[in-house]
Structure 1
Amino acid sequence: MLETLELLKISTREQDRVEREFNMGGAQSADKGHGYHVLRVQENSPAHLAGIEPFFDYIVGINGIPLDTPESRVLQDQLLANMDKEVVLAIYSTKEQELREVPMIPNRSWTSNPGDGLIGLSIRFCTYEATNEHVWHILNVAPESPAELAGLIPYTDYIIGTPHVTLHSENDFYEFIEAYTGHPLRLYVYNSDFDACREVVITPNHAWGGEGALGCGVGYGYLHRIPKTNKYHNSQLTYQGDLKQQPQQFNDQSLPVEKSHPSMTNTDVVTVIPTTITTAPLIIETPAEPPETNRPQQSQQYPNYHQTIHFNNDKVPLDP
């Protein structure tokens, strides 16, 4: 991605490219790139106190060094080398479409469990290409429907993913719902009023007495994307020739995530799920694929659904 890995230095050509890609004020947002996707943030960890957000945040640099390949040990090496000293992470938010700097101090004193890591993150290296486009906006919710019973909130809830499968295309969502009708499904949902994520369990079925398997309308496209909060407006990177700036102050805010997620256990430094790195500080987990039985071969057109998402996350097998 970047042609030079010199500490605190980016070539002029690469600087221009980065500025174009992470254009904070222009109409074109950064929709392509790679980084460490934040899947979970431990409560009261350094990452939590620094305001790192799961699902939306990607770690793209540390101490001025870009993180552009999954084979690199830069992230874990920098954390280990700077234990109890401040490091500065470059974080790209797909929700805010902004790049910001986040200072924090890796340490082991924040937890009594050594397996919680130095900063309290579970991450996975992947692309964030167009992830801000792939969301379902919950519109109307029918009374007594599976959507209402699951607690989906009309107009302020956005479905951003599921731990069961990765949805690659428009038809994947329809097929997923149809294949597992009658099974409890876990969805990751963001609420714009509370600026927070939660996990929702919903059981799609066609026997609830109304239209569709979920009983709610979903909007997709430019008019239905997650609205920006501009909460990082004062912490954007300006790229004056390198990734590093003076540390800035951030509010203590993050998104709540269930503590008992079965596929995001933390390890010595950070948890990487999955990646090609096989060194001691990290444990590599390969989540099981969901069953493929009874998956429809052709797409199903639901009257209350229009599009799908592609959300990079680990896969959790469905309950039998």
Structure 2
Amino acid sequence: MFRIAKNLVKTFEQSVTDTIGAGDKLDSYFMSLPPNLLVPGNDSNSTLHGLRVIRCDETQLQVASFFDFIVGFNDMPMPLIQNQHGYLHPDFGSILRTINNSCGSSIKLNVWSGKGGFYRDEYVDVARKAEVEDVALDPATDQNHREFEPLGFSVQWAPLLAATYTYHVLEIHNPHGPASASGLVPQEDYIIGCQDGLLATGGETLLQEIVRSRANEELVLYVYNSGSDSVRPITTKIGGDGRLGCGVGYGYLHRIPDPQPADMPIFELPSSDAFVPAGQTAALPNTVATETKTTDNFIAPPPMHKRKTKPHSAATAASSMQDYFQEGKDQSPAASLKTPPPPPPAKNS
């Protein structure tokens, strides 16, 4: 049995490896990226990079820090140049010129999100600077001159694979441990970072090593909750054993999912027994009234007003229709044609 289970695990790991690829193929996590944004040297799991949003102003609601990567502008791939060591990095001069040309209008940002690995487009308004500044006459310096107001976010060149460096909280082992005391929620919480950027490089055992190194000390963790789609910092007091007191998952099966919209209230129609056929006097069941009292999120339907009705039959239905058509007519009795007219008065001779 042990050998069979071991072979099953090996087969499963091999299927995951085939799905992810060996570095020269795109992981299914990145398959949402349009092909026109992929260029040689920036088109595989290990080389795919983008401008990661690391900070947002309070007024900037179009992009999300940590999760969003800008992978192109106006449906054009990221302009790249090669440094002296042969590594590709963004051509920031070309990017500045592209944004400068959009002053007074908007620019289309091609954005990939680490939440579920989804791609989308965002149109950001580009306002021209209101203040006049001195511009250098040197063309080499002038090409890096920014003519637009800040867009409300900061970016950093980073691999898209960094969005998978997360640790999924699976269960709480110790009800009195640091994880329980700090309010970690099993199945919903993902540890995405910690103080001083110690989790930035990823690795299955990295979180465990950091927690052990902080025994008897406080550690700040940044946690994403999939239920509320929000990030919060928590401060944990690590005990002397160097443990969090929870189980975590890392890797392909524990990536942050696409946030689902909040459940909308569901209106349940009464069952077929609630509809009373004509000629019966059975009352409606009290199922709807019971749900409106016990369920907080249930929105009660508008009250139903009953009309006082009489039992229907063929005769009463015909009489009702006759009354309808006779409405507005002269209701005085008509003379009968069968009754003979009165005789004329007798003549006196």
With the shorter chain as reference, the TM-score category is 0.5 to 0.7
Task: Encode CA deviations 1:128-148: one digit per residue, 9 max, x unaligned.
Answer: 12x354321112223232112
Task: Work out the CA distance in 2 between the residues paired with 1:175 and 1:22.
Answer: 29
Task: Work out the CA distance in 2 between the residues paired with 1:223 and 1:216.
Answer: 18
Correspondence 1:37 to 2:21: no
Task: Encode CA deviations 1:250-295: one digit per residue, 9 max, x unaligned.
Answer: xxxxxxxxxxxxxxxxxxxxxxxxxxxxxxxxxxxxxxxxxxxxxx
The alpha-carbon deviation at position 88 of structure 1 amounts to 0.3
Aligned length: 196
Q: Which has the higher contact order (CA 8 A, sep 6+)?
A: 1
1:255 matched residue in structure 2: none
The alpha-carbon deviation at position 225 of structure 1 amounts to 2.4
1:220 counterpart letter in structure 2: Y
2:53 counterpart letter in structure 1: V
The alpha-carbon deviation at position 57 of structure 1 amounts to 0.7
1:201 to 1:122, Cα distance in 2 relative to 1, 3 A: farther
Mind listing any 5+ residue stretches in structure 2 that lack a counterpart?
Answer: 1-24, 34-42, 81-88, 130-148, 262-349
Alignment map for 1:100-119 (pairs within 5 Å): 100-107=120-127, 118-119=150-151
Correspondence 1:167 to 2:201: yes
1:72 counterpart letter in structure 2: D
Structure number with bigger Rg: 2
The alpha-carbon deviation at position 106 of structure 1 amounts to 2.5
Task: Work out the CA distance in 1 between the residues paired with 2:121 and 2:235.
Answer: 34
Task: Encode CA deviations 1:134-185: one digit per residue, 9 max, x unaligned.
Answer: 3211122232321122221121001112242233433332221122223322
Contact 1:96 1:230 in 2 (8 A): no
1:78 matched residue in structure 2: 98
Runs of 4+ with >6 A deviation: none
Q: 1:144 aligns with which of 169, 176, 182?
A: 176
2:132 matched residue in structure 1: none
> Normalising to structure 1: TM-score of the pair?
0.53
Alignment map for 1:166-245 (pairs within 5 Å): 166-206=200-240, 213-229=243-259
1:213 to 1:100, Cα distance in 2 relative to 1, 3 A: same
Contact 1:137 1:158 in 2 (8 A): yes
Correspondence 1:24 to 2:32: yes
1:204 to 1:76, Cα distance in 2 relative to 1, 3 A: farther
The alpha-carbon deviation at position 98 of structure 1 amounts to 2.2
Q: Which moved more, 1:196-205 or 1:186-195?
A: 196-205
Task: Encode CA deviations 1:217-255: one digit per residue, 9 max, x unaligned.
Answer: 212334332222378xxxxxxxxxxxxxxxxxxxxxxxx
Task: Work out the CA distance in 1 between the residues paired with 2:252 and 2:68.
Answer: 21
1:94 matched residue in structure 2: 114
Mind listing any 5+ residue stretches in structure 1 that lack a counterpart?
Answer: 1-16, 110-116, 232-320
Contact 1:21 1:30 in 2 (8 A): no
Structure with higher helix content: 2
1:63 matched residue in structure 2: 74
The alpha-carbon deviation at position 31 of structure 1 amounts to 4.2
The alpha-carbon deviation at position 56 of structure 1 amounts to 1.2
Identity %: 31
2:71 counterpart letter in structure 1: V
